[in-house]
Amino acid sequence: MNEIDAVRALAALAHEHRLAIFRCLIAEGPSGLSAGDVARRIGIAATSLSFHMKELDRAGLVHSWRDGRFIHYAVHVEGMRKLLSFLTEECCEGHPELCGAAVAAVSRHREKNANE
């Protein structure tokens, strides 16, 4: 991930509704939720949800698919991993295990992908 993409992702998350949407989708996992379910859980109108989802999608943090009349959303796991890797790649002078389990897990994922 480059700086421009990181800024875009962070800007997308820098809004209370988008952050709530992202956290809701993280909790739900790869199966995601329908647009209506997300809107109800967050407590916003469907039109507002659509606007916020476009921003999260442009930032590479969520993806969507259609199932009949319904649109479903899920977190884009690789986009999230890229952002976390970008934010933590210089953590603790190259020793991410000192920063905690989450940073170490991102580092292990980065190393695994580099070796493939």
Does this model's pTM top 0.75? My answer is: yes
Sheet bearing 62-67, strands edge to edge: 33-34, 70-75, 62-67
Share of residues in the chain with pLDDT > 90 (%):
68
Going 73 to 2 to 113 to 101, the CA torsion angle's sign is negative
Contacts of 100 (CB under 8 A, 6+ apart): none
pLDDT in tens, 83-94: 988 887 776 776
Q: What secondary structure letter does DSSP report for 65?
A: E
Where do the domains of the chain lie? 3-75, 79-115
Comparing 5-9, 32-36, 63-67, 99-103, the range with the smallest average pLDDT is 99-103
The reply to whether CATH 1.10.10.10 applies to domain 3-75 is: yes
pLDDT in tens, 28-70: 999 999 999 999 999 999 899 999 999 999 999 999 999 999 9
Residue of 107 and 42 predicted with greater confidence? 42
